[in-house]
Structures are given as C-alpha cells and as structure tokens.
C-alpha cells in the first residue's frame, strides 16, 4: 500500500485518492458509460436508413398525418434536445413500443429476460464447477498430460463458433442419441401449466411442486447451457491455471511445503485461496459475456430469451425492440463488470 502511494505521489502531480474520490470515480465512469451507450443507440436509431415517421404511419398516409407524427416525435427539434428527451424516457423505463408485438418493449424484455438469465446462470455455474478444478489440475500437473488435455479443451472452447457447436450437439445428442430434449424450454404439452412467478422455469416448477415439469425443463436446459458454458469453462480453466501457476511459484508455498503441510492443503488452502479472489473478476466477466453470447445459442435452440427477441425484432425491422434490448444487455454487461470489480476490491485486502 505504501509503495503504491509513493508511486502515485511520484506520478504527474495528482492528489492521493481517498475513498470518497474513488467511489465518486466509479459513479462518474458508470454514468459516462451509460451516456456513451445511449448516445450510440440513439445515433443508431437516427442514422437508420428507414424513415422513422414512415415506419409508423405507412406510405399511404397523407402529408398532414405525416407532418403531425413528425412533430409528435420531436424530429423538428435540435439533435441534443431529441437526445435529452430520449434519455429522459429511458430513465423512466420507457423503451418505446415494439412493432412486432405491439407492446411496450420494456414489458417484452421483462418477459424474455428470465429465460436468458436462467441459461447464462446455469452455463456460468457449469463453467465454474468444471473449469476451476480443471485449471487447478492443469497447474498442479504442469507440463504433463492433464495439463495438455486442459489446454486443448480450452483452446477448442475458445476457437469453436458457438452456433456451430450447438448445431453439432443437437445433431449428436438429440437427433442421433436422443439423450436430451430438443429445442425450446419445455415440451409442448407442458406449456403454460406453471405460473411464471419468477420466469425462471426450474424455480417456478420447483415452487409449484411440478417435478415432471422440472425434469422436462432441465432436460431442455442442459444442452444449451453446456454449449454456452463451453466458453465459460475454457476461459475460467485457462485463467485458473495461470493464476495458480503464479501462486505456486511464490515463496510462501515453498515455506508451507517445507513445514510439511500436506500437498492438498498447500494447493487448496494456501494457493487456491488467493486465486479465488482473482477469479471473482473473471467469473463476473464471464457471466456478462454469456448474457451477450446467449444470442447465438438462443437462436440455435429456439430458446425464448432476450437474444432471440433481439434477433427476431431485427428481421422485422423493429428498431425500438432491437435498441431496447441492446441497452438492457449493455447495462447488465456494464453493471456486472463494475460489480465484480467492486467485489474484488472488497474481498482482496491488498486492493482495499
């Protein structure tokens, strides 16, 4: 801590950051990022080649109607006024109305979002509970075959196009082997039986005590979650390995070994504890990127989440829905990253 403050003091004339400055810095950058994100979506909405007025009134409308809608949309005002109005609407949770579903975009998204969350959460959990042990194993057996196997799996998870992986998995595990259920969240005859309390099917089915439906939902979930989780697994395993190698090379590990502490304790109690702190950020990053990565997976598995919603809206030229979805995913993305950063600072005494 002292070394770092000396370094900072030696830097180009800046005051020592106090906690308050730090916290306000986080908030300022959060706000700036939000402004940037909305500025981009606003620009995309405006540079869209199609006429926003025409999209509402249709090409048969008279000039008066056209002009009226033009004024209603505020298109005669300067751009910054339009942007501020847009920002005000966003802050009130107004994302506009979807052309495709004729409903407020915000409501649509609330309906579709839990499915994506369910998928991304299970995928991240798979990545964590499989990836971390794999990474630790690779680091402990560095240079031997378990290490090579983990590296190859990691590289393939990194390099394979996820939509292709999903298709091949559907072909093998659903069409040929029939081990899992096909696309969608449930079999048709189970549809609409359980009340969507949380929107997360596993939870809702369990709460209602409908274990058949729970089983069926799990059957549908396992394949897309595994496919989406491949990336998480690859990333987490790779980072765990590299963090572990770092720690295992430290002197306190040598000390622990010299003291005669059993190897498993050295690995899990000493080295891994320090790694876990670093992994928090990685897991946060993974979760955020999976929320986004679910777009392609959802398309393949007809998973009715926000990715599928955005894609479908895109093909119906439903810009409100596309941009609304972009903002929601973007905000989650930024928020989760920020949160994991804060959590890291909270847990690691060296950063505090």
Give SS3 for 104.
strand
Min. distance of Cβ 88 from another protein in angstroms? 20
Q: Which is nearer to another protein, 216 or 247 (CB)?
A: 247
Which residues, other chains included, contact 328 with Cβ-Cβ below 8 Å and sequence gap of 6+?
95, 109, 113, 306
Q: Which is nearer to another protein, 114 or 330 (CB)?
A: 330
DSSP code of residue 171: I
Q: Which is nearer to another protein, 126 or 162 (CB)?
A: 162
Min. distance of Cβ 208 from another protein in angstroms? 33
Min. distance of Cβ 29 from another protein in angstroms? 6
Structure tokens at 351: 């950063």
Helix (H) or strand (E) holding 191: none
**Contacting positions for another protein (CB under 8 A):** 12, 29, 32-33, 36-37, 40-41, 44-45, 47-49, 155-156, 158-165, 167-168, 170-171, 175, 241-242, 245-246, 288-289, 291-293, 295-296, 299, 310-311, 314-315, 317, 319, 322-323, 325-326, 329-330, 333-334, 337
Q: Which is nearer to another protein, 48 or 110 (CB)?
A: 48
**213/283 Cα distance (integer angstroms):** 30
User: Of 36, 71, 38, nearest to 52 (Cα)?
Assistant: 71
Structure tokens at 216: 């069926």
Q: Which is nearer to another protein, 238 or 270 (CB)?
A: 238
Q: Which is nearer to another protein, 40 or 203 (CB)?
A: 40
Structure tokens at 75: 């298109």
Give SS3 for 334.
helix
3-state helix, strand and coil shares in percent for the chain, rounded to the nearest 5: 75, 0, 25
Q: Which is nearer to another protein, 36 or 58 (CB)?
A: 36
Min. distance of Cβ 66 from another protein in angstroms? 22
**Beta carbons of 237 and 134 less than 8 angstroms apart:** yes
Min. distance of Cβ 294 from another protein in angstroms? 10
Min. distance of Cβ 197 from another protein in angstroms? 28
Min. distance of Cβ 195 from another protein in angstroms? 30
Backbone φ and ψ for 251, nearest 5 degrees, come out as: -70, -30
Which H, E and C letters describe 310-330, residue by residue? HHHHHHCCCHHHHHHHHHHHH
């Amino acid at each position: 801590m002292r070394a770092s403050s000396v370094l900072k003091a030696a830097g180009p004339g800046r005051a020592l950051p106090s906690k308050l400055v730090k916290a306000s810095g986080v908030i300022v950058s959060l706000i700036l990022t939000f402004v940037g994100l909305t500025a981009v979506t606003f620009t995309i909405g405006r540079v869209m080649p199609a006429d926003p007025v025409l999209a509402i009134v249709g090409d048969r409308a008279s000039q008066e109607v056209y002009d009226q809608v033009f004024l209603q949309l505020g298109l005669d005002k300067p751009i910054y006024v339009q942007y501020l109005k847009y920002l005000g609407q966003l802050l009130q949770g107004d994302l506009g109305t979807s052309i495709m579903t004729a409903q407020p975009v915000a409501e649509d998204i609330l309906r579709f979002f839990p499915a994506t969350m369910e998928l991304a959460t299970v995928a991240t959990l798979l990545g964590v509970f499989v990836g971390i042990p794999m990474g630790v194993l690779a680091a402990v057996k560095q240079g031997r075959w378990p290490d090579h196997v983990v590296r190859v799996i990691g590289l393939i998870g990194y390099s394979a196009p996820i939509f292709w992986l999903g298709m091949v998995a559907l072909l093998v595990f659903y069409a040929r082997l029939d081990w899992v259920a096909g696309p969608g969240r449930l079999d048709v005859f189970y549809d609409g039986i359980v009340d969507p309390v949380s929107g997360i099917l596993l939870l809702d089915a369990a709460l209602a005590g409908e274990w058949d439906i729970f089983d069926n939902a799990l059957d549908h979930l396992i394949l897309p979650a595994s496919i989406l989780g491949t990336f998480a697994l690859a990333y987490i395993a790779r980072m765990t390995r590299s963090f572990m190698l770092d720690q295992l090379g430290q002197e306190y590990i040598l000390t622990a070994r010299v003291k005669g502490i059993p190897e498993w304790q050295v690995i899990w109690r000493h080295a891994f504890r320090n790694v876990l702190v670093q992994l928090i950020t990685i897991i946060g990053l993974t979760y955020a990127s999976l929320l986004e990565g679910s777009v392609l997976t959802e398309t393949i598995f007809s998973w009715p989440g926000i990715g599928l919603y955005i894609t479908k809206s895109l093909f119906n030229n439903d810009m409100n829905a596309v941009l609304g979805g972009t903002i929601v995913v973007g905000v989650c993305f930024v928020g989760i990253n920020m949160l994991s950063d804060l959590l890291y600072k909270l847990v690691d005494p060296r950063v505090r």
